[in-house]
Amino acid sequence: MTIEEDDDSFKIVDEEAEMAEEPEPTPEPAKKKRKTDKKSKKAAAAAAAKDDNTDSAFDPQFTFAIDGGGSSGPSHAWDFTAARDMLKEKQANTVARTSIDEIIAKKRQENKLKRKKAAAAETEKEEQADVDDDDEDIAADGFGGGARDKTMEDDDDDDDSDSDDSESDEEESGQSEDQSDTEEKNDEAEEARKRAYFAPDEENPTASHDSFTSMNLSRPIQKGLAGVGFVKPTEIQARTIPVALLGKDICGGAVTGSGKTAAFIVPILERLLYRPRQTPATRVLILCPTRELAAQVHSVATKLASYTDISFCLCVGGLNLRRQEAELKTKPDVVVATPGRLIDHVRNSAGFALDTCEILVMDEADRMLEDGFAEELNEIVKSCPKSRQTMLFSATMTDNVDQLIRMSLNHPVRLFVDRSDQAATRLIQEFVRIRAHKEADRSAVLVSLCRRTFKNKVIIFFRSKVAAHQMKILFGLLGLRAAELHGNLTQEQRLEALELFRDHKVDYLLATDLAARGLDIKGIEVVINYNMPNQFAQYLHRVGRTARAGRNGRSVTLVGEADRKMLKMAIKSANTGSQVKNRVIPAETIQKYKKKVDQLSPQIEEILQEEKQERAIREAEMKVQKSENLLKHASEIYSRPARTWFQTNKEKKTKKHSKH
């Protein structure tokens, strides 16, 4: 064992012992209770709205679950009602598809029939021959399909292979980068530049508020906070809200799950309460790097603003463009957007501009400052007035002046809570070593982890969309309930995957780094990294999907030989009090699952082929539908001005590879 040498706290764990410690899954909420909760929530909201200005109507202790009682504690942020609404209109024009789940189900049904037939044939054979031993040995040796299947309980499955090969096909998260890039060089000159660039530290307050009530927030905002169950500000909130209320630029960093969203939403809402109402204008723009994160921020903001008249619009790709155009015409106070769709609207939606933007927020700002987004960001910043307030937030926020300079910040206040290179305190980080000659066992290792130990509320990260999709098929064939989330899916499928996982209708979310940042998925108990990500910041974002807001969580990372440097960084990142462990899976267990995985390979291939054919048919149907539409609505379509974009198609394509 070599990896243990890296750190004293790196212990060997017996997996079976670990299994006994696994927490009980939280029971699913009863449907009936949901209904009652929803009713009482409506009644409470109505009553509260009525007495908006009376002190007696406000009870800071009062909390109710915004999602209708789905989970205890503060509400969970996932409510895609707005996004779903926009999808409905879009779907009316799309061709129906056969889902991958339907294809897998069909294959499983075929497998069952085959097994039944094989078992019947086997029994017949047994009855005829009076050979009465060997069955088990034959099964263990992998001869004679029927007997083997019997020893595998009702696990379905058939054939072989290593679905990992295709992983390098389609890298989503960019080139491998030297980790030393992330380790800041804090030399003297750089420090001096920072001192000149940022506001002096005296303006950086220490957390002094242990309750929202002491923050001088207006009553509707306090009610909104109580409504979502927030009583005490988190550290980033306690430090950010007072500074943001003063209108200062902010560069904020705090570990994932520490409440950054409310840290910038609350002061925005408070300031908007005092806006002049005669002329409606879009005064706030919140930018997020992914559609899902934007939908989540929009949902949190809307809930916190429940007792105000502040209006919002969600502008992200994949959702109905015309509906967004119509909403933007009404000049919503706050626009939550992804950069691409926003630029599309700025250029092509009549009457929409950013010249009234007073506050610009960038969530997961370091991601947005990376190359893939640089052009779009410049275009947006250029369209906003210089005099605006700008707030940048991320769990791995940088104070690298070179990167920040193009955001034209005005002496931003640095608000860094915790070190940005640390994982959450209550996170247990586990590592499973994959030796160089055992790389082909990766899928089997994952399947054995999921079959034996981590049975629900697990998010699994893959480097590529192709790998996530193949694992979805493998999981499906093995009867493990999983949804996939990556950029090869439609927006409808992406939201659906998140909802299925949120509602515990699937146990596993198989995702690319699309889901690594910002998403607040309540109750994720385990994050599994099928591969170590290429960048350490990405590792922190991924494992940050669990152990959020002071809860416990566990990450399990499959570590290949090439990942040793990253492993060291991960061990170093462990906070005081958090644990680092080496998980060992018995070799015979891996072999058992490898056999199963190998057996299923031809079926995975067949399913992929079937899917390809299905896609080709659908595309052809869509083409026909498009031509019909063109014929039917030709005059209207051709009378519309052509949509413009700030880059040529070629430029766009070259930039696109680094985005999701």
Site for ligand AMP in 166-205 (CB under 6 A): none
Q: According to CB under 6 A, which one of 261, 464, 534, 538 is a site residue for ligand AMP?
A: 261
SS (H, E, C) 108-172: HHHHHHHHHHHHHHHHHHHHHCCCCCCHHHHHHHCCCHHHHHHHCCCCCCCCECCCCHHHHHHEC
Alpha-carbon span 314 to 89, nearest angstrom: 15
Alpha-carbon span 298 to 79, nearest angstrom: 9
Q: Does 332 bind ligand AMP (CB under 6 A)?
A: no
| Least Cβ distance, residue 245 to ligand AMP (angstroms) | 16
Residue type for 513, please?
A: D
Site for ligand AMP in 262-301 (CB under 6 A): 262
- Tell me the number of residues near ligand AMP by CB under 6 A: 17
Candidates 232-240, 311-319, 481-489, 637-645: pick the segment binding ligand AMP (CB under 6 A). Answer: 232-240
Site for ligand AMP in 494-553 (CB under 6 A): 520, 522, 548-549
> Torsions phi, psi of 60, nearest 5?
-60, -20
In the block, tokens 């294809």 appear at 103
Long-range pairs, 612-616, Cβ under 8 A, ≥24: 614/97, 614/98, 614/103
234 versus 557: smaller Cβ distance to ligand AMP: 234
299 versus 338: smaller Cβ distance to ligand AMP: 299
Provide the strand spans (E) within 443-481: 458-461
Q: Does 258 bind ligand AMP (CB under 6 A)?
A: yes
Candidates 33-41, 107-115, 260-268, 557-565: pick the segment binding ligand AMP (CB under 6 A). Answer: 260-268
Candidates 185-193, 254-262, 365-373, 552-560: pick the segment binding ligand AMP (CB under 6 A). Answer: 254-262
Q: Does 259 bind ligand AMP (CB under 6 A)?
A: yes
Q: According to CB under 6 A, which one of 63, 222, 237, 573 is a site residue for ligand AMP?
A: 237
100 versus 225: smaller Cβ distance to ligand AMP: 225
Q: At what angle do helices 31-50 and 219-227 cross, to 10 degrees?
A: 170
What lies within 8 Å, CB to CB, of 223 at 6+ separation is 48, 57, 58, 306, 307
Q: According to CB under 6 A, which one of 68, 69, 74, 227 is a site residue for ligand AMP?
A: 74
The encoded tokens of residue 199 equal: 């506001």
| Least Cβ distance, residue 376 to ligand AMP (angstroms) | 24
Alpha-carbon span 8 to 574, nearest angstrom: 12
- With CA atoms as reference, report the closest residue to 477 among 500, 451, 459: 451
Candidates 100-108, 252-260, 577-585, 630-638: pick the segment binding ligand AMP (CB under 6 A). Answer: 252-260
Residue type for 537, please?
A: A
- Burial class for 654, CB neighbours closer than 10 Å (0-12, 13-18, 19+): exposed
467 versus 547: smaller Cβ distance to ligand AMP: 547
Q: According to CB under 6 A, which one of 111, 163, 222, 234 is a site residue for ligand AMP?
A: 234
Q: According to CB under 6 A, which one of 252, 253, 257, 533 is a site residue for ligand AMP?
A: 257
Q: According to CB under 6 A, which one of 233, 289, 372, 412 is a site residue for ligand AMP?
A: 233
The encoded tokens of residue 317 equal: 């790709």
The answer to whether 160 touches 598, Cβ cutoff 8 Å, is: yes
The encoded tokens of residue 205 equal: 């307050």
Kindly list the residues in this chain that would bind ligand AMP in the complex (CB under 6 A).
74, 77, 230, 232-234, 237, 257-262, 520, 522, 548-549
